[in-house]
Structure 1
Amino acid sequence: MAAPYKLTFEEQLRHIIDNKTKPPGALGRLEEIALQIGLIQQITNPAIQHPHIVVFAGDHGIAKTGLVNAYPQEVTAQMVLNFAQGGAAINVFCRQNKLTLKVVDAGVNFDFTSMPVKVINAKIGFGTKNYLNEPAMTIVEAEQAIEKGRSIVRQLAADGCNCIGFGEMGIGNTSSATLLLSAITGLPVVEFTGRGAGLNDDQLQKKIDTLQQVYEKHALNTLGQQPIELLSKVGGFEIAMMAGAYLEAVHLKMIVLVDGFIATSALLVANEIFRLTKQPSAIPGWTTLIDHCIFAHTSQEAGHEKILRHLGVTPLLHLAMRLGEGTGAALAMPMVQAAVNFLNEMASFESAGVSNKE
């Protein structure tokens, strides 16, 4: 006689979700998120604890030329001070949704250490070099940035955080993200090139021409599967640090929210590192970092919708935002909390005494 079939953990969790007092699937994406979070934490009553948004900031040498950016490089440091003083959009949304905000100096061309502001000093350098002329950073610097990102997340997890979203600040970083995504996906540079913080038509064309020149100079078409070298050629310190943060957050089974265009480029770099190092996943059938992540929103930045479509993922929100800073992740966090809450608090047909359709 055959042994009775034993449900897998995923089947048990799906049964619990389906048996809540609602038609199957009636809570739509919230049911998918509840299942994903339950699988990440490997429990049927998951919890969100001390959720954080971490904003990594860094400057880019290319920004000094004005070829790819509408705002001067000095705005990066000015915005970091704005974050530290509580005046930016990300501060507003974090306060609204009771999220802890951490701001990291990954490589801003400014010294914050003498100022009375709360900024995590993880500086690799005072901005990257101009990749139009030379590599943005050394291999060692790229590896240092990745490890710094991992260590920051490790510390937050040790302090009790299990849910995290990442944001960024860096004048010129949409250009770096464009080059990284083009190299990794093999799609043309122009597919991902957008207006960033507000380029007009002429400036946009100049940006496209400049980035195509950089792409060819560094032979990025050969580096799609060499993420560390790719970062060293055209990355940013904040993007490299965010890539390390993704790797550690997934390793620690944290709930990870992905923000916009630049944050997604960092995730793809991290995913290539994950793939090459063959890090084992704790979740059966999950083979990429993308499997572990919740995509918060579709940015209005030109290439973001294209890369999301390329990855086959559907974000939670579409608000025509293109600010960065982790704002999309902060706005999506209440939906993630709602998914956990319904799983834990909503009655089942049996407990409520409600007849199921059967």
Structure 2
Amino acid sequence: MEKLWSLYEDILNKYGLVITDDIKIQFKEKLWGAAYEYHPQLVVWSNGKNDLLLDSIKTKELPFDLFLFTLMRFGNYHEQFIYARQVTAHRIVESFHSFLILLKEEKYSSLGGLLRMFLESIAMFEKALRKTQFNISKIEKSLSRAINQRGNSDTIDLGRNHLLEAQNHFTEFENDLNKIVTETYVDWKQYSLNGDLQEYQVKEGFFDPSPQMGYSETIIKMETKLKPHKGESWGMLYTFLCDFTHPSVGSRISGLDFNRSKIHKNGDLWTREMYFNSVSVENELLSSVTKDLVYFSYDLLKLYLDINKQFEGLYKRVKNSSQLLVRNTLFYKNKQNSKTYTMLKKRVNPYNKCICFGDSRFKFCCGNEENW
């Protein structure tokens, strides 16, 4: 991390941009740390077939292994949330690192494409956070109603229905995170065996990274007060960065002489007369573009840190709701089948990590009926 940051500081100094120690600390903790240090303990994913899992809650008879897996899945939502950020941060750091290497080697034409990936990753993460904000509000309301019905035997069924609402809302939350972290289109296991490539096919419920998924619209809708140092919006910046994936952009910024190159019109016929400078000739356009890209990299770094603040606030709410969901599921299931608590204690080691993925051992957390 120190080597990467030292390279970045040298480049920023070259272009007259001073970076604060506070940004460096945040980069280390919030981006580098999110990518390489703060890993989830365990990620429990379902296969999207939720009816079977919810039936294990609804029915009186206990298929207990499935019920236990369901509890762990409920308790694991905040771990999935961490994993979504980790995947995003990892992609951003790698794009950022590649950007600095190419910049140092003076390979300019690919720089914008790397910053485009940087911005796309941030935008998809921010979109997931917006949807999480929407879902977690619904989850909290449903859980509150379920908790309020616990003390009245006449309204137990009503409370159980509110609990099922919360579980369904969490499923929506999980599906949104799946679009960031789920398996991609390539069958990597098959590829590792024989190196075969596969035809591109859209799969239901999978995130499609192709342009038609509307990155531009997602970027325009980002909720942040920050703006890039040039342009009125992140959408404008995205349009600029997208042009770097055009085949001709390298020649345009590194060799095309705009003063000598001309377009001629002869009737309905248009011709372009193009002149290129030697790569050794100083290129004002290239210098300007490169400086802007360096500044844009700093803009994007600050944008990620701003979006990450939303993550940290939501994470506490997701973790709290996830644990409440586990405990209330246990409470209502035990009301339905009094063997639940006994079977749970038999099946889970009291000194293992708790099934709600909290900070305490099972014995002192969900293994204690008083905590429900």
Asked whether the two chains share a fold, i.e. TM above 0.5, the reply is no
Larger Rg: 2
TM bin, normalised by shorter chain, reads under 0.3
Higher strand share: 1
TM-score normalised according to structure 2 size: 0.23
TM-score normalised according to structure 1 size: 0.24
